[in-house]
Every structure is written in C-alpha cells, then in structure tokens.
A and B are shown apart, each in its own frame.
Chain A
Amino acid sequence: MISIAFYLLTALLFSAALMVILSKNPMSSVLWMVVAFFAITGHYVLLNAQFLVVVNMVVYAGAIMVLFIYTVMLLNLSKDNDNRASLLVRLAGIVSGGLLLTVLIAALRRSTDAAVGDLAQVGATSLVGLVKPLGLALFRDFLVPFELSSALFLAALVGAVALGKKEASD
C-alpha cells in the first residue's frame, strides 16, 4: 500500500520535473514546478516528516513559486519563447546528465545500511520529523546557524529591494 503511494508520487514528481525543463512557456514551467513541490511534500508525508511538510508547502509551494510567477508576469515574455540551446549543446547536456546519473548511482548504491528498515516501518514509527524533536535540535544544537540565517535573510531582503528598485534616472 505504502509502496504504491511511493511509486505514484515518484511518477508524478518525475513527469512534473520533466515538464518543468521541457515546456516552452515559462509560465507552464512554473505551474509544473508547483506540481513537483506537491509531490515532494507527499514524499515528506510518507516519511512522517511533519515539520518539513508544513515548511515545504509554505516556503516552496507558497513563497518561492509566487515569486517566480510574479517575475514571469512582470517580464512580459510573449515574444521570445524559443530560447533553447543548439542541438549539439542539448545532446551534450543530456549525455552529461545521464553520465552524472550513472556515476551517482554507482557511487551511492552500496552505501546504505540494509538494517535501517523499510518505508512502511519508518513511516509508522519514526518520530524525528515531528515538531518537538526538530525544535529541540534546532534551538539546542543549531542555535548559532539559526540566528545567522536570520541575518542572511535580512541581507537578502535589503539586497533584493536595492536591486529591484528603479534607478532615479529612469
């Protein structure tokens, strides 16, 4: 049962990811990206990572994709839709991606410990993804990176506003 859900979510994720990189219209790419984020959220549900489910929905499917949609709308991209690389570059890119996939799988496939169990058992019994253990880890072990990330956000906010502002001479 849970493996059927896993394969369905994986099929949805890969069809959405392929549509993101293959569709001609940037707006449909963005909308397929939202579908891909929903599939990824489904994977987090299967892993019982409840905190990541909420954060993934709010940050990725919410904030980031809204930013993308607004940018696509602001840029007025009606005329130049056909901006793919040349056939040679596309072939080289696909071959490189396939080679990368081969190397990654060859390097990683024997690295896991079979004793850690399967998804049906982990999804039913894993408690590390709940808010309480993650909050304890975040504010006990990772307090300094967490506070530093707020400084990063402030810098990104100021930088985005400063970059996006129209020049006074325009």
Chain B
Amino acid sequence: MGTITLDHYIYLASALFAVGVVGVLIRRNILIMMMGIELMLNAVNILLAATSAFNGDSAGQVFVFFIMLVAAAEIAVGLAIITMIYRNTGSIDVKDYSRLKG
C-alpha cells in the first residue's frame, strides 16, 4: 500500500471539498445544502490538521478548533433561520425562497 504522505491528504481534502460543492450545487433541499457546507468545512479541517501534524506546528490545530466553533455558531443560527422560513413558506426547497428577492 505504500507510505502516506502529505500529498495523500491534499488529494483527500480536495476530493471531499469537491463532494461538498457538488452537494450544494445539485440539491435544492436547504438542509442538505447546509450539510454540503459542513463537508467543505471538514475537508479544510482535515487538511489543516494534517499539515499541522506533519510540520510539527500546533497553530493549525488551533485553527481547526476555531473553525469548529464558527461552524457550530453558523449551524445554530442557520437552522433557526430555516425553521422560521419553513414556518412562513411551508417548504425547505430553495426555489420557494426566491420570493425573497426585491
């Protein structure tokens, strides 16, 4: 199987990020689009943690910690907004949210 270098983590994180982008682009369910955003954040987290561990610098893992904090705050507010919009429109399909345009 060979050794695992930092290049493997770059391929892994790039592919996971692309999966998250495709998830946001092809789905119209806003919950699944938010999960695509979570996949992108986690791809960045994996790459930061790997470069931090391979280079022996702990700052990268502190950044991962901050990304997790911001993601938790984002999800809390985002899901509250989704619940509120669902109460007003009765749908979680983003095409029903286009009436928000001015």
A interface vs B, CB < 8 Å?
2-4, 6-7, 10, 13-14, 17-18, 20-21, 26, 29-30, 33, 36-37, 40, 43-44, 47-49, 51-52, 55-56, 59-60, 63-64, 67-68, 71-72, 74-75, 77, 80, 83-85, 89-90, 92-94, 96-98, 100-101, 104-105, 108-109, 111-114, 116-120, 122-123, 126, 128-129, 133-134, 136-138, 141-142, 145, 149, 152-153, 155-157, 159-161, 163-164, 166
Indicate whether A117 sits within 8 Å of B54 (C-beta atoms), given known contacts A84-B28, A160-B76, A164-B84: yes
**Number of chain B residues whose Cβ lies closer than 8 Å to a Cβ of chain A:** 72
Q: Which of A43, A108, A138, A157 contacts B76 (CB 8 A)?
A: A157
Complex Cα distance A47/B18, Å?
23
Per-residue contact bits, chain B 65-102, to A (CB 8 Å; 1 contact, 0 not): 11011111111110111111011000111000000000
The answer for the CA separation of A29 and B10 in the assembled complex, in Å, is: 25
Contact A89:B10 (CB < 8 A) given known A7-B1, A63-B72, A68-B35: no
C-alpha spacing A33/B16, complex, angstroms: 13
Cα–Cα distance between A128 and B65 once the two chains are bound (Å): 14
Closest Cβ–Cβ distance, residue B5 to chain A (whole Å) = 5
CB distance from B32 to the nearest CB of A (A): 5
Residues on B with C-beta less than 8 A from A104 are 14, 17-18
Q: How far is the CB of A84 from chain B (nearest CB, A)?
A: 6
Which B residues from 40 to 58 make CB contacts under 8 A with A? 42, 45-46, 49-50, 52-58
Q: CB distance B16 to A14 under 8 Å?
A: yes
Contacts of A63 in B (CB 8 A): 72
Kindly provide the distance from the CB of A102 to the nearest chain B CB, expressed in whole angstroms.
9
Asked whether A94 lies within 8 Å of B22 as measured between CB atoms, the reply is: yes
Cβ contact within 8 Å between B69 and A152: yes
Closest beta carbon of chain B to A98's beta carbon, Å: 7
- Of all chain B residues, the one with the shortest Cβ separation from A75 is B86
**Does A20 lie within 8 Å of B10, measured CB to CB?**
no
- A101: min CB distance to chain B, Å: 4
